[in-house]
Amino acid sequence: MHPFLNQLPSSSFLHALQDGGDKSRQGPRGPIQARGMAPSSRQESSPEEGLPTKWSRRWAMAGWALLTLLLLGLLLGSSVLWFYVFGNCGPPPCETPVCLHLLDYYLASGNSSVAPCNNFFNFACGEPGKTINSFHALEDENKRLLRRVLEAPGSWHPGSGEEKAFQFYGSCMDTDAIEAAGTGPLKQVIEELGGWNISGKWTFSDFNQTLALLMSQYGHFPFFRAYLRTHPSPPHAPVIQIDQPEFEVPLKQEQEQKIYAQIIREYLAYLQQLGTLLGGDPEKVQQHAFLSISITSRLFKYLRLLEQRQSQDKLFHVLTIEQLQEMAPAIDWLSCLQETFKPMSLSPSQALVIHDLDYLRNMSQLVQEEMLKHRDVLQSHMILGLVETLTPALDSKFREARRELSQKLQELTEQPLMPAHPRWKKCVEDTGAFFEPTLAALYVKEAFGPGTQRAAMKLFTEIKDALIARLKKLSWISEKSQKEAQDRVTQLQVKIGAPDWVLKPELARQEYQDIQFGPSFLQSVLSCVKSLRARNVQSFLQPSSHHRWQVSPWGVNAYYSISDHVVVFPAGLLQPPFFHAGYPRAVNFGATGSIMARELLHIFYQLLLPGGCPACDTHALQEALLCLEHHYDALLLPSRSSLNGSQTFLENAADVGGLAIALQAYSKRLLEYRGETTLPNQDLSPHRLFFRSYAQVMCREPNPQDIQDIHRPPSLRVNGPLSSIPAFARYFGCPHDALMNPSRRCQLW
């Protein structure tokens, strides 16, 4: 019998109810007698007097049966109603245009023939070789929006930032004018640098004067890089930093000897082609190109990978200009840096941050040797490198030579062939680099309204609250460290959308007064390069209490700044298919919410490093980290090589923790608020949609050649965190010991 039926009144109780009316009319002593004070003699009753008692019992049985039927009917009716409302209907589908577009995106990128419990990466991201890089796709869509803005007709205030940005983009797209100018503008630049022996005359210009011109006027650094950044250590003041140069040719350490020799031959042929296009004598071109390659090869030998410098505790050194001059005397450091970072006032006692001192010593010795033997070759080497960097501003012959080299290098290094970079995309990128304040304001106005910003901030607040709640339940963290961690989260600044200055158009109009567009597109580019460098220096010289954004508002990379204790989520990231105020909440929490949680966990990387949390339960922490490493090792497919989990454990921990925190915040949201929706015509409950949206963010093809990628392979960024969440296996009905439902899970965050 149903438990509720046990609470129904008994037949005797029904009898009492029927007789209750008479008893209520008895005298004051009547009830006392009924409870046991009976008369002294028993009175016999006639058969007629017994009839009411028999009929009462029959009515009691009938009442009992009637109430039972009524109750069963109510239970059956409520069950049917419950099934119809909640079991049959479920959350209503979102059929707005943005949701239907998202549905099409998911259908196009996934592979429904793969069982979700066997490999969710392939289920959500599609077949190998056909996977869309979600971040690249979003980045391209943001650039397309900027293109539409730049190509839309409009009238701008004369001399304003808007007018100059539109003029620059238009001249960049005017390839007919660039073709008509030919090599004339480039030859004029070479003459201003003192000429070279490949073609024309060489005036034997001073090496350091030429180097200073290349660095300050053309933004080209042939032997090292110099830039302004905040100091790596507190108080993180702006400081000039000297680092290794960036080379077009892949480093020798990454290639087999045979392949590296083929790469050098292709690069040599490319340099010869550049010299020939500039009218050089074929014999001199071949000689200078070969010696230029020799210089590059020798510089390669002095380079050390970041991991090597880190293991040797040589990430950076702090030296004065005077001390660096003694250690690397071939470069006139004071004059070169003074020209590059005008209007800074430098002196020999100026402190610098040096990222690879051994490289600079060896580079200086190489330059000294070449100045004694092949001074003209050093000039040719610097000019050939400049021509490479200026290729997008030159005519089609130079651009085609560069495209062919890139394609051959991709084939030799077995990288996937990249499609030709459309002209409009390069023009959008350069316009954005030179006129960022203007384009930032136009982009935010077009794609990131106040409603989107409020929705994004609300999502971040819920993610942050979930993290604080989770910190209180960690088994390995001490009470003191837990309190410090909560304070760190509370004190964190968050920047969402764009910097404050984006909404101040008067700044954009004042910033570009020094840009002068020349008769050729190349001259316009060089004027923009010079202006941009001066603006960057000026921004560092001005005292500011605000964080300097490291990404443009239309960028897609969120980041955490250690020096400013601020986390940044640009407007370009908070776009479909990652985020939209009209999406089902499962999408926003699964995609953008997990990104936000992961960036928040970057605050606590130090706690996971050896000795980073002395007051914590070290044994429990190490057990959790070791468990996480084994968890990822077990997910590697047989065809994949082993992955050293110790090299990526920080990012793995952030991925797993970020997903768990986002799921906790989403589950709380479902309990507190109604009105969740899902995508139509899909077998995706809200929680299934949450997990699918998380995976969609991570979709991309693996790139073994990218040694800087600490997240590879991408399948682990999907399968690793999802298989660590018991709720995933529960909502997808994964059988025990399936790939996505392991028998053992780890609890780190």
pLDDT of residue 500: 83
Please state the rounded mean pLDDT for residues 679-689: 87
pLDDT of residue 38: 36
Least confident of 292-296, 572-576, 702-706: 702-706
Q: How far is 447 from 502, CA to CA, in rounded Å?
A: 13
CB atoms within 10 A of CB 157: 10
Amino acid at 573: L
Q: Which residues, in sequence order, are CB contacts of 720 under 8 Å at separation 6+?
A: 631, 632, 635, 652, 655, 656
**Do residues 653 and 598 touch, judged by C-beta distance below 8 A?**
no
Backbone angles phi, psi at 522, to 5 degrees: -60, -45
Inter-CA distances, 286 with 198, 267, 271, 273, 275, Å: 9, 12, 8, 9, 8
Q: Is the peptide bond before 343 cis (omega within 30 degrees of 0)?
A: yes
Amino acid at 651: E
**Of 261 and 7, which is predicted with more confidence?**
261
Q: Is 205 helix (H, G, I), strand (E, B) or coil?
A: coil
Instruction: Give me the sign of the Cα torsion angle 313, 314, 316, 321.
Output: positive
State the DSSP string of 574-636. Answer: SSTTT--TTS-HHHHIIIIIHHHHHHHHGGGHHHHSTTS-TTS-HHHHHHHHHHHHHHHHHH-
**Do residues 166 and 150 touch, judged by C-beta distance below 8 A?**
yes
Give pLDDT tens digits for 410-465: 888 777 667 778 999 999 999 999 999 899 999 999 999 999 999 999 999 999 99
Per-residue b/e over 339-367, b at no fewer than 16 CB within 10 Å? bbbeebebeeebebbbbbbbbbebbbebb
Kindly state the tokens that stand for 557: 């990379």
Q: How far is 40 from 34, CA to CA, in rounded Å?
A: 14
Q: Which residues, in sequence order, are CB contacts of 398 under 8 Å at separation 6+?
A: 274, 277, 387, 391
- Residue percentage of the chain with pLDDT more than 90: 54
**Do residues 112 and 688 touch, judged by C-beta distance below 8 A?**
no
- Residue percentage of the chain with pLDDT more than 70: 81
Verify whether residue 376 is a known catalytic residue.
Answer: no
Q: How far is 735 from 731, CA to CA, in rounded Å?
A: 11
Amino acid at 76: L
Give pLDDT tens digits for 262-297: 888 999 999 999 999 999 989 999 999 999 999 998
Give pLDDT tens digits for 581-636: 999 999 999 999 999 999 999 999 888 888 888 888 888 888 888 888 888 888 86
Give pLDDT tens digits for 598-610: 999 999 988 888 8
pLDDT of residue 615: 84
Inter-CA distances, 587 with 138, 691, 699, Å: 16, 9, 15
Q: Which residues, in sequence order, are CB contacts of 481 under 8 Å at separation 6+?
A: 607, 613, 615, 616
Q: Which residues, in sequence order, are CB contacts of 588 under 8 Å at separation 6+?
A: 455, 459, 579, 580, 693
pLDDT at 708 over 70: no
Give pLDDT tens digits for 369-407: 999 988 999 999 999 999 999 999 999 999 999 999 988
Average pLDDT, the chain: 83
Residue 149 confidence class, pLDDT cut points 50, 70, 90: very high
Please state the rounded mean pLDDT for residues 523-533: 95
Q: How far is 302 from 359, CA to CA, in rounded Å?
A: 5
pLDDT of residue 659: 97
Verify whether residue 243 is a known catalytic residue.
Answer: no
Inter-CA distances, 288 with 220, 271, 735, Å: 19, 9, 66
Catalytic pick from 243, 356, 655, 676? 655
Catalytic pick from 599, 629, 651, 676? 599
Q: Residue 119 gets which letter from DSSP?
A: -
Residues in the chain: 749
pLDDT at 303 over 60: yes
Using left for φ > 0, alpha for ψ between -120 and 50, and beta otherwise, residue 565 falls in: left
Please state the rounded mean pLDDT for residues 298-309: 77
Amino acid at 134: S
Please state the rounded mean pLDDT for residues 484-505: 88
Q: How far is 431 from 425, CA to CA, in rounded Å?
A: 10
pLDDT at 197 over 60: yes
pLDDT of residue 1: 43
Sheet strand arrangement including 493-497: 493-497, 566-570, 559-561
Q: How far is 289 from 271, CA to CA, in rounded Å?
A: 6
